[in-house]
Structure 1
Amino acid sequence: MFDIRRLRLLRDLDRLGTIAAVARAHTCTPSAVSQQLAALQREAGVPLLERRGRGVALTPVGVALAGHTEAVLAALEAASATVAAARTGLTGTVRIGAFPTAVHTLLPGALVALGRDHPGLDLSVTELDPAAVPEALREHRLDVALLHDYDLAPVEPDPALDSAPLLDETVFLAVPEEDAARDAAASADPVAGFGDADWIVGSPGTLCHTVAVRACLAAGFAPRIRHRVDDFSAVLTLVAAGRGVALVPRLGVGRLPDGVRLLPLAARRRTRIAHRRGAGGHPAVAACVRAVRAATAAHLEAGAGAGAD
């Protein structure tokens, strides 16, 4: 019988590529990871790892075993969900992760409903960039999370997660009012008219940063990045002050400052709600998903959110 903790290390080595990266993900030392993987190899009785340069790589058997690990972990999640469903009432901690605009707009209604309908739940919210969500779910730092991608920067589905569509919204180019006339050049892409503008983008490594750069490159130029700001309210304030232009999704618009014009793009941002594969039957996870869906629908019906355009 294989140790599930060691199987997770093998799975993560296959995913992350180095012992050092696995150690960082599990907050332990590379030596400890190596020892556990060596013990797993002894349990298997066949080579799972091989030297490759200064590092290690999985053998074909190791790759196959890592692949089976996802199914094993999903089965354990499903087993936990079955046991939880047999209990009376919903109790325990539910850790919810979301990107900033969702925390401001979608989660408040969901948290109110969950607190009212399931007072035994201890709800915890973490704000984080969607790029960090899969790792946080895999490592049990989150139970349910919102993540998104753009058609300009699609993200491959994570085999460790189950997810379902939640929201599809327009992306706008936010420009100072006096510069909006540049859009009149009959261009199918408003971004093309702002190749000489200063750009306000997200921090390097965030999805928003990647999308802004790709949108500009698709329009035929590299953006002249002047400001790096992650909060869309602050971004729009800078645009209103004439400090540059920026891409803003519908959910990030909020109260539009005076002096800002929004030019709709063909690009879309797609939000999904995710949890670990197999955990969808857990009553607390299911209740959280239902609450977020209902809060999203209410937000859209109020006319303040995305997806109505």
Structure 2
Amino acid sequence: MLDVRRLRLLRDLAHLGTISAVAEAHTYTASAVSQQLAALQREAGVPLLERFGRRVRLTAAGVALVEHTEVLLGALEAADATLAAARGGLTGPLRIGAFPSAVRTLLPAALAALGRDHPHLDLHVSELDPVDVPAALRKRRLDVALVHDYDLVPADPDPTAESLRLLDEPVFLAVADEHPGTLADAADSHWIVGSPGTLCHTLALRLCHDAGFSPRVRHHADDFTAVLALVAAGQGVAVVPQLGVEHLPAPVRLRTLPIRRRTSIAFRRGSGSHPAVAACVTALSSAASGSGLRPD
């Protein structure tokens, strides 16, 4: 019988790419991870890893085993959800992650509802970019997360997670006066974009590239309130979704762009029926309904 803990290490190697990264994620030594993977390979009876330069990579059998592991781990999550429902009552920690504009706009109402309806849940919130959510769910640092992508920059499917579409919202070009009037007019403007590596940074570069120019980036900022303040100060133009526009500074004008931002609720595969996760989904859905935005 294959050891589930070792299978999890192999799965994480497939996602993280190096044994040292797996070791760091599990607070093991690299030597300990290598020994566990070697033991798994002996159990399997076929090579699961092969040398690739100074690194290792999965063989075809290793890739196939990871696919089965995802199914197995999802089934274990579902089993845990069934036991939690049988125990009755919602208690214990619930770790929720969200991107900054959702923390300000959607999460407060959802947290208030969860606290009122399930007072024995111990709620923990972490603010993080959607690109960091899959790893946080796999490492069990989060149980539920709000994530987003754009129709222009869709997210890659994550086999370790499930998601439910929550809402769609328009996206704007924020300018400080009547000019620029269109995205093409902003080719000569300075730009305010998200930090490199964030989804918002990727979107801004892709949007400009598709319009035929590279943005002249002057500032990097991830909080949309700060972004709009910089636009109001004449520091450049920026791309801002509707949830990021809580208070529009007087000099700022919004130009609607032909793209949408899509927000979803993500959780580990198989955990959707866990009572705490289900309660969080209900609370977040109610908060989204109050925003007036709906999925397309």
**Could you state the TM-score of these two structures normalised by the residue count of structure 1?**
0.93
Cα deviation 1:152-179 (Å, max 9, x = unaligned):
21111101111010010111000012xx
AA paired with 1:64?
Answer: A
Aligned to 2:256: 264
AA paired with 2:166?
Answer: L
AA paired with 2:180?
Answer: R
Q: CA deviation at 1:308?
A: 9.8
Please tell me whether the aligned partners of residues 146 and 264 of structure 2 are also in contact (alpha carbons under 8 angstroms). yes
The one of 275, 279, 292 aligned to 1:287: 279
AA paired with 1:88?
Answer: G
> Does 1:74 pair with 2:74?
yes
Aligned to 1:197: 189
**How is 1:118-129 mapped onto 2 (pairs within 5 angstroms)?**
118-129=118-129
Cα deviation 1:259-278 (Å, max 9, x = unaligned):
00000000111010010000
Aligned to 1:237: 229
> Does 1:176 pair with 2:168?
no
Please tell me whether the aligned partners of residues 95 and 141 of structure 2 are also in contact (alpha carbons under 8 angstroms). yes
Q: What CA distance in whole angstroms lies between the structure 2 residues aligned with 1:93 and 1:181?
A: 50
RMSD of aligned alpha carbons:
1.4
AA paired with 1:211?
Answer: L
Q: What CA distance in whole angstroms lies between the structure 1 residues aligned with 2:25 and 2:200?
A: 24
Cα deviation 1:58-102 (Å, max 9, x = unaligned):
222211111100000000000000000011211111000000000
The one of 216, 222, 236 aligned to 2:214: 222
Please tell me whether the aligned partners of residues 99 and 127 of structure 2 are also in contact (alpha carbons under 8 angstroms). yes
Q: What CA distance in whole angstroms lies between the structure 1 residues aligned with 2:126 and 2:295?
A: 27
Higher mean C-alpha displacement, 256-265 vs 37-46: 37-46
**How is 1:58-137 mapped onto 2 (pairs within 5 angstroms)?**
58-137=58-137
> Does 1:40 pair with 2:40?
yes
| Corresponding residue SS for 1:173 | strand
Aligned length: 296
Cα deviation 1:24-53 (Å, max 9, x = unaligned):
333333222111101111222222112222
Q: What CA distance in whole angstroms lies between the structure 2 residues aligned with 1:232 and 1:307?
A: 21
| Corresponding residue SS for 2:180 | helix
> Does 1:52 pair with 2:52?
yes
**Gap regions ≥5 residues in structure 1:** 184-189, 301-305
Q: CA deviation at 1:241?
A: 0.9
Aligned to 1:187: none
Please tell me whether the aligned partners of residues 167 and 295 of structure 2 are also in contact (alpha carbons under 8 angstroms). no
AA paired with 2:276?
Answer: A
**Gap regions ≥5 residues in structure 2:** none
| Corresponding residue SS for 1:279 | coil
Cα deviation 1:223-250 (Å, max 9, x = unaligned):
1000001110011011111110000000
Q: CA deviation at 1:8?
A: 1.0
Q: What CA distance in whole angstroms lies between the structure 1 residues aligned with 2:5 and 2:202?
A: 34
Cα deviation 1:116-143 (Å, max 9, x = unaligned):
1111111111100010011101111000
Please tell me whether the aligned partners of residues 170 and 307 of structure 1 are also in contact (alpha carbons under 8 angstroms). no
Aligned to 2:143: 143
